[in-house]
Amino acid sequence: MGDPREIGCAISWGKAALRLCLFARMIHFLVSFSRLTRYKVPVKIFILALVLFVCQARIALAAANVDFGAQIFPIFEKSCISCHGAEKQKGKLRLDSKAAAFKGGEDGVVLVSGDAAKSDLYRRIILAEGSDDVMPNKGDVLTKAQTDLIRDWINQGAPWAETALANIAPAQPAREPDVPAADFKPGAAELKATASLQAMGIELWPVAAGLHWHEANFRSQGDRNLDAALAQLKDAASLVSLNLAGTKFSGASLANLKSLTNLAQLHLEHTQVQDADLANVSGLARLTYLNLYDTPITDAGLEHLKGLTKLRNLHLWQTRVTDAGAAALQKSLPHCVIDRGWVSTAAESKEPEIKK
């Protein structure tokens, strides 16, 4: 028996070739029919057949070569890893590393190389929104284009190039946000702010039973502008974890974070946070985790982070940060794991210019 990934890839190419062959035969039939019967096939039919042929050719070629690093892992990163990653493993399943993904979870294996139909991961992502087993079960379900990509990737043998993700931080067990040793009792201002946030449909949850330290997750707020909520948040001194991933807010509203001196974890991924906005987190001395994945941050923004000596995990994948900028920050924060995810060597390397 051959390598299942090679077999899967061969099957995918075979299907692609079959599609092209069938449409080529259809056009040949129309031409032959016209000649033999002297019946003039309408031009519209020829045009339609040609359009279908071109579309099928593009689909077949795309399906024949799915790039895990560029096409699949970004889907996992955005829609799956928040529930199946280092911080949380729903159903004991992780999708942030090759070994963990192929191992599966408490319900067994979810990826079968070369066979999407037998892969529970694919079965779940194509379920209708609202189904009990659909993945992801929070937020928007995957688009058909995304599920088709994952299907084709699995059918090709689910190749998972670890070298393309060389800068991904090593897998670590889930952990609660770091909290100060002493307990904390909220004052009148925080109680008032908590009530205002509750009226907006936003809850502050205790990180553990019997503690007054809290965490807040705004990710479910969707397209709603959060400036008013962040204005209330400035008095939530007990907050140790804040998730603003995928939300909308003005840069000015991040000034409200300056007073959250106990904050240990901050999620800003999939937002439009700007370089200058990071000045508002430069004084958060207890911050150990910061996620800036898929933001327009550049090397200039990293200058605001050099004083965060307790920072241990910084995610910079799909930002505009350069190798030089990341290296400079690493010198200032030698104990911080700087995750730049998949970096296209083709995009960053250029052929030397040949002078004529």
**What share of the chain has pLDDT > 90, as a percent?**
33
Average pLDDT over residues 77-100: 82
Q: The tokens of 125 are what? A: 């992502």
How many other C-beta atoms are found inside a 10 Å radius of the C-beta of residue 197? 21
Highest mean pLDDT among 234-238, 344-348, 352-356: 234-238
pLDDT in tens, 318-351: 899 999 999 999 999 999 999 887 544 433 334 3
Strand 265-267 and strand 205-206: pairing?
unpaired
214 within 8 A of 205, measured Cβ to Cβ: yes
DSSP, collapsed to helix, strand or coil, labels residue 314 as strand
What's the burial of 3, exposed, middle or buried (CB within 10 Å: 0-12/13-18/19+)? exposed
Q: What is the mean pLDDT of residues 9-37?
A: 59
If phi > 0 it is left, if psi is from -120 to 50 it is alpha, else beta; for residue 115 that is beta
Query: Which residues 6+ apart lie within 8 Å of 243 measured at CB?
Result: 215, 216, 217, 218, 219, 265, 267
Q: How far apart are CA 340 and CA 337, in angstroms?
A: 10
Per-residue CA distances from 226 to 157, 205, 215, 249, 265 (Å): 43, 18, 16, 5, 19
pLDDT higher than 60, residue 301: yes
